[in-house]
């Protein structure tokens, strides 16, 4: 019987979870001295590395003084909150990381609420204490107030505190202790996290909390063994959340050590393993002893709050840049995504159109970015929030929004959000000339606000939001106030014509860019759409006139990222996404058809 501890690392985005797990991996002696380890080793996906965020929860195991510690690194972004919630049910303790300067943030509240309600007692790690404006004492008080506000028990309020700088690889019990290594944190984990409660002698009970996919063995369920012993090759019963039961054989049993996965022959209660052999396995399903089946309670999964339409690209430039362009290819890829990403749902809408629903814009744009990198070409519509009926009342999702902004811009932010139906709940000075504003806002009101917010706060504001609840529909919400500059010709843009157009607004394209009728090349400075000709060349004459030879000065175009473009578009516009370009276009390319539809609406 080995001594096991199961912990999850939870925190707000960018408070240092993955870096801390790195430090624990390195200092536990899990890696051999000759192994090369990347920074943020747990962020394995290319997009995670580029953006510095964790998207999928991942698990690892380390050995320390004869104990095995299973660690699950969780995402900090609100769009992946469902992932965190499931993970918490699999562990016996959590490390709650809080930034020593930023303090408690919206996502901290979300994950703490879940952890306390399950009955876990967090170890609070005040991270980044080496920051110049760090104030660890204030942060510990904020965490205490948060726990008290969430109705924590007496025992939960007596939480242990560790001060750390994960990047520099040290932790301390008291602020004036010596800065040596992470040993105080290891000791705190062994001391305060209870050992798993299950028994190897009881009948088998395993529950799946996340999925993986392997081209050779199919679906893999990563699961915790609550009771009993599991062996490779044995027959067990799969009890699904909807009550269906079926028998199957465990073809592969995989254990974790550091970043490596290795096949093992058996594992017992308390451990976290990966199991293969069941085609229909899903998150929340139980694997139990067929002679004595006792399934565990299925998990509640949070429903999606936002949807977009993915469709085949039908623009004049369709098929020129991507490898996979047909409806069947797009459908197969989306179906494959749904096998492992249970927070998303897909419905086929006919005619090469698919409705994909998820927890927020980030989750949807990351899926789109992955498809784009794999050579897919497709179009996406404007995000819509999911409205549902309850007892005859229309309900829509509301978000808890926290904004940190320099004081000078606070008034502007409050005014703009007020137009988007936001209600202010709190306003606190943060020191350093910043103010923290808290709002409750319909999710619709946030679509398209981020780029406006960055402009209003001169790029210095920080905005975070997390799902609150469904509430009665709040009426219409103001959206984009500027019109679009729409191309009325097919061809390549010229510097000469763009120079004349740039006075009318902000351009999205530079010279020598392919454009087509109905493609949007910029944002108009007024509220109406304007048809422009971006391909007109200068008429050549054999006369030289003074002043006409002056160089053309073009303002650099605004770069479009997927997120920026997706929140900019309106209902009559769509995004054309290819491996090489992101273009914005009108749904109806022909200007006369556009006017006809505009009159009808």
Q: Is 15 annotated as a binding residue?
A: yes
Q: Are 88 and 8 in contact (CB under 8 A)?
A: yes
60 and 150: one domain? yes
Mean pLDDT of 38-56: 44
27 and 113: one domain? yes
Tell me the two tokens of residue 197. Answer: 């409660």
In a domain, 154, yes or no: yes
Per residue in 192-204, is it b (16+ CB within 10 Å) or e — as a string? bbeebebeeeeeb
Cα torsion through 157, 158, 160, 165, rounded to 10: 40
406 and 447: one domain? yes
187 and 235: one domain? no
Tell me the per-residue pLDDT of 338-383, one tens digit each, with 9 for 90 and over.
776 667 788 888 778 889 888 777 778 878 888 888 888 888 988 8
Between helix 136-149 and helix 106-118 the angle, nearest 10°, is: 50
User: What 8-state DSSP symbol labels residue 437?
Assistant: E
126 and 153: one domain? yes
Angle at 174 between CA 168 and CA 178, to 5 degrees: 50
Give the per-residue pLDDT at 519: 92
Q: Is 128 annotated as a binding residue?
A: yes
In a domain, 107, yes or no: yes
422 and 548: one domain? no
Q: Where are the beta strands (DSSP E) in 500-565?
A: 505-507, 514-515, 519-524, 530-532
Q: Is 542 annotated as a binding residue?
A: no
Residue 39 predicted with pLDDT over 50: no
What mean pLDDT, rounded, does the chain reach?
78
Residue 86 predicted with pLDDT over 50: yes
CATH number at residue 516: 2.40.50.250
CA distance 337 to 429: 43
Band of residue 43 on the pLDDT scale cut at 50, 70, 90 = very low
Tokens 């899903």 belong to residue: 282
Model confidence, pTM: 0.69
34 and 66: one domain? yes
Last residue of a domain, one of 288, 316, 340: 288
Q: Is 210 annotated as a binding residue?
A: no
Tell me the two tokens of residue 22. Answer: 């790195």
Q: Is 493 annotated as a binding residue?
A: no
Chain CA centroid to CA 557, Å: 28
Helix (H), strand (E) counts: the chain: 15, 35
Give the per-residue pLDDT at 40: 42
Which of 36-40, 157-161, 233-237, 461-465 is predicted with the least confidence, judged by mean pLDDT?
Answer: 36-40
Residue 67 predicted with pLDDT over 50: yes
Any bridge partners for residue 466, and if so which?
400
Q: Is 18 annotated as a binding residue?
A: yes
Q: Is 561 annotated as a binding residue?
A: no
Rounded alpha-carbon distances, angstroms, from residue 118 to 31, 87, 208, 304, 580: 33, 11, 17, 22, 46
Q: Is 19 annotated as a binding residue?
A: yes
CA distance 67 to 92: 15
Q: Which of 61, 92, 95 is nearest to 164 (CA)?
A: 95
CATH number at residue 468: 3.30.70.240
In a domain, 198, yes or no: no
Residue 33 predicted with pLDDT over 70: no
Residue 440 predicted with pLDDT over 70: yes
Q: Which of 368, 449, 463, 375 is nearest to 416 (CA)?
A: 449
- Transcribe 114-158 into DSSP letters: HHHHHT--PEEEEE-TTSTT--HHHHHHHHHHHHHHTT--HHHHS
Tell me the two tokens of residue 538. Answer: 């200068």
| Domain containing residue 76 | 3-192
Last residue of a domain, one of 247, 267, 288: 288
In a domain, 344, yes or no: no
In a domain, 576, yes or no: no
CATH number at residue 270: 2.40.30.10
Q: Is 6 annotated as a binding residue?
A: no
CA distance 328 to 348: 11
CATH number at residue 111: 3.40.50.300
Number of domains in the chain: 4
20 and 130: one domain? yes
96 and 159: one domain? yes
121 and 186: one domain? yes
Tell me the per-residue pLDDT of 185-242, one tens digit each, with 9 for 90 and over.
788 888 888 877 877 778 878 888 777 777 677 778 888 888 878 888 788 888 777 7
Q: Which of 276, 298, 260 is nearest to 221 (CA)?
A: 276
Q: Which of 506, 503, 495 is nearest to 535 (CA)?
A: 495
| DSSP H or E segment with residue 399 | strand 393-406
In a domain, 106, yes or no: yes
Q: Is 145 annotated as a binding residue?
A: no
Any bridge partners for residue 522, and if so which?
485, 507
465 and 536: one domain? no
Give the per-residue pLDDT at 371: 87
Residue 53 predicted with pLDDT over 50: no
Rounded alpha-carbon distances, angstroms, from residue 481 to 104, 186, 477, 524: 34, 54, 12, 10
Phi, then psi, of 23 in degrees rounded to 5 = -60, -40
Give the per-residue pLDDT at 117: 80
Last residue of a domain, one of 472, 504, 520: 472
In a domain, 100, yes or no: yes
In a domain, 559, yes or no: yes
Which of 25-29, 177-181, 234-238, 524-528 is predicted with the least confidence, judged by mean pLDDT?
Answer: 25-29
177 and 280: one domain? no
């Amino acid at each position: 019987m080995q001594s096991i501890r199961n912990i999850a690392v939870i925190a707000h985005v960018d408070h240092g979870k993955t870096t801390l797990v790195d430090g624990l991996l390195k200092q536990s002696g899990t890696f051999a001295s000759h192994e090369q380890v990347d920074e943020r080793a747990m962020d394995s996906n290319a997009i995670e590395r580029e953006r510095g965020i964790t998207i999928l929860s991942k698990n690892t195991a380390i050995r320390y003084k004869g104990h095995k510690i299973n660690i699950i690194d969780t995402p900090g972004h609100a769009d992946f909150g469902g992932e965190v919630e499931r993970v918490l049910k699999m562990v016996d303790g959590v490390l709650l990381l809080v930034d020593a300067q930023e303090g408690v943030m919206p996502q901290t509240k979300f994950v703490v609420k879940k952890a306390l309600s399950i009955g876990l007692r967090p170890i609070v790690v005040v991270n980044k204490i080496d920051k110049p404006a760090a104030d660890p004492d204030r942060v510990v008080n904020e965490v205490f107030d948060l726990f008290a506000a969430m109705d924590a028990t007496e025992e939960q309020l007596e939480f242990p505190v560790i001060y750390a700088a994960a990047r520099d690889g040290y932790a301390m019990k008291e602020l004036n202790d010596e800065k040596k290594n992470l040993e105080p944190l290891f000791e705190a984990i062994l001391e305060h996290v209870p050992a798993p409660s299950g028994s190897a002698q009881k009948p088998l009970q395993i529950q799946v909390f996340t999925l993986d996919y392997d081209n050779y063995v199919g679906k893999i369920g990563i699961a915790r063994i609550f009771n009993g012993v599991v062996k490779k090759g044995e027959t067990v019963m799969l009890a699904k959340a909807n009550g269906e039961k079926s028998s199957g054989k465990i073809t592969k049993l995989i254990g974790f050590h550091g970043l490596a996965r290795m096949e093992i022959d058996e594992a017992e209660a308390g451990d976290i393993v990966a199991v293969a052999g069941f085609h229909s396995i899903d998150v929340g399903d139980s694997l139990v002893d067929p002679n004595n089946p006792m399934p565990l309670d299925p998990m509640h999964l949070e429903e999606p709050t936002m949807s977009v339409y993915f469709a085949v690209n039908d623009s004049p430039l369709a098929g020129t840049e991507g490898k996979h362009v047909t409806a069947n290819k797009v459908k197969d890829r989306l179906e494959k995504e749904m096998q492992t990403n249970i927070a998303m749902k897909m419905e086929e809408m006919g005619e090469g159109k698919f409705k994909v629903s998820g927890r927020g814009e980030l989750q949807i744009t990351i899926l789109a970015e992955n498809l784009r990198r794999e050579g897919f070409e497709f179009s996406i519509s404007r995000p819509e929030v999911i409205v549902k009926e309850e007892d005859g009342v229309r309900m829509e999702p509301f978000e808890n929004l926290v904004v940190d902004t320099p004081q000078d811009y606070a008034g502007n932010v409050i005014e703009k959000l007020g137009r988007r139906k936001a209600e202010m709940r709190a306003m606190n000075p943060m020191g350093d000339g910043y103010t923290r504003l808290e709002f409750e806002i319909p999710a619709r009101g946030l679509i398209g606000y981020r780029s406006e917010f960055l402009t209003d706060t001169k790029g210095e504001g920080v905005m975070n939001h997390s799902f609150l609840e469904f509430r009665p529909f709040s009426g219409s919400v103001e959206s984009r106030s500027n019109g679009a500059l729409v191309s009325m010709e097919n061809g390549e843009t010229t510097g000469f014509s763009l120079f004349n157009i740039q006075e009318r607004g902000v351009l999205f394209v530079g010279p020598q860019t392919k454009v087509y009728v109905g493609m949007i090349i910029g944002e108009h400075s007024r509220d109406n759409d304007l048809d422009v000709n971006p391909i007109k060349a200068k008429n050549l004459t054999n006369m030289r006139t003074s002043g006409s030879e002056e160089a053309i000065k073009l303002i650099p175009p605004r770069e479009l990222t997927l997120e920026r473009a997706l929140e900019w578009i309106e209902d009559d516009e769509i995004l054309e996404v290819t491996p090489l370009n992101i273009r914005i276009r009108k749904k109806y390319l022909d200007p006369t058809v556009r006017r006809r539809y505009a009159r009808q609406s």
